[in-house]
Amino acid sequence: MSLEQSVSQHYTHGNLLAALLDAVHRAGKNLDALTYADLAIVDEFHIGGRPATRALAEQIDLPGGARVLDIGSGIGGPARFLAVERGWRIEGVDLTAEYVEAAQALSQRVGLADKVSFRQASATALPFVNASFDGATMLHVGMNIADKGAAFAEVRRVLKPGGVFAIYDAMRQSDGAFAYPVPWSSAPETNHLATPEAYKDALRTAGFEIVKERNRREFALQSMQRRIEQTAQPIGLPVVMGATAAQKLANMREMIERGVFAPVELIARAAGS
């Protein structure tokens, strides 16, 4: 099985859309009048949830109407948030077919089908023409990508000169032992955690300049504490992560505390503006 098949298999739930809607219903939301904001408890699949997406977006200087690519768009939470809050036209790509289907269905349900779109594709083979996007985002995806150089070269290719690329990924901070499972991987084959230095080298080689870097360790520990308290009641993101959700979250927090990895933001700009 290829890496991409293994990654897709890791994320595939089997009955995701129904489970998501059930969780949202149990959280007290009216399924007949859902808004994108009602979905925030389940549709932001990264450390820190919606506040983390907001914090990343605040560092992206693009006008309303900008065309933005969301790489590894998951079930579409960041894409819908960015479309509504920033007025950007968001196109998401993701490896996992079930996520793409859920992202489309949820967007339709909250009346955003004309503002966001999703398709199944790999970050390393983007189905878009050169220089066609104003910006790109990637939240908690690079940990599943072995060849980051190939992915970043693809992002550079589809961005216009001067286009911004905002990354929010878990990145290696030390050589400490790694404990499985974590939300993005259950075995070494699908875990391609890398240091911020490796990201920056790959970005520069692909034709980006690094504008900003911010370590989000403290923010992560605070939000992880809240998440672990929530896993006792299976409402929210644990629905997406399945039966081992509590172990995944506990391992993640323990490794962030131990300094093995931390979520890091990197803002890069495509050279040539």
Check residue 72 for interaction with ligand SAM (CB under 6 A).
yes
Please state, in angstroms and rounded to a whole number, the distance separating the CA atoms of residues 169 and 139: 6
Query: Applying CB under 6 A, which part among 20-28, 118-126, 209-217, 245-253 lies near ligand SAM?
Result: 118-126
- Binding ligand SAM (rule: CB under 6 A), the pick from 139, 164, 170, 239 is 139
Distances from the Cα of 125 to the Cα of 69, 93, 131, angstroms: 13, 10, 15
Q: Is 135 in the site for ligand SAM (CB under 6 A)?
A: no
Q: Smaller CB distance to ligand SAM: residue 16 or 260?
A: 16
Give the DSSP H/E element, type plus range, for residue 56: helix 49-57
Rounded least distance, CB 100 to ligand SAM, Å = 9
Q: Rule CB under 6 A: is residue 74 a binding residue for ligand SAM?
A: yes
Choice from 136, 145, 159, 202 touching ligand SAM (CB under 6 A) = 145
Q: What three-state secondary structure class fits 271?
A: coil
- CB of 92 closer than 8 Å to CB of 156: no
Question: Residue 252 Cβ, how far from ligand SAM at the closest point, in Å?
Answer: 11
- Applying CB under 6 A, does 144 fall inside the site for ligand SAM? yes
Q: How far is CA 207 from the centre of its chain?
A: 22
Burial class (CB in 10 A: 0-12, 13-18, 19+), 157: middle
Binding region for ligand SAM (CB under 6 A) out of 38-46, 171-179, 218-226, 246-254 = 38-46
> According to CB under 6 A, which one of 23, 24, 46, 252 is a site residue for ligand SAM?
46
Q: Which phi and psi angles does 209 have, rounded to 5°?
A: -105, 145
3-state secondary structure of 60: coil
> DSSP letter at 45?
-
Q: State which of residues 40, 56, 77, 191 lies at the interface with ligand SAM (CB under 6 A).
A: 77
Q: Which of residues 147-206 bind ligand SAM (CB under 6 A)?
A: 183-184
CA distance 84 to 104: 15
Residues that bind ligand SAM (CB under 6 A): 4, 7, 11, 44-46, 72-74, 77-78, 93-96, 99, 122-124, 139-141, 144-145, 183-184
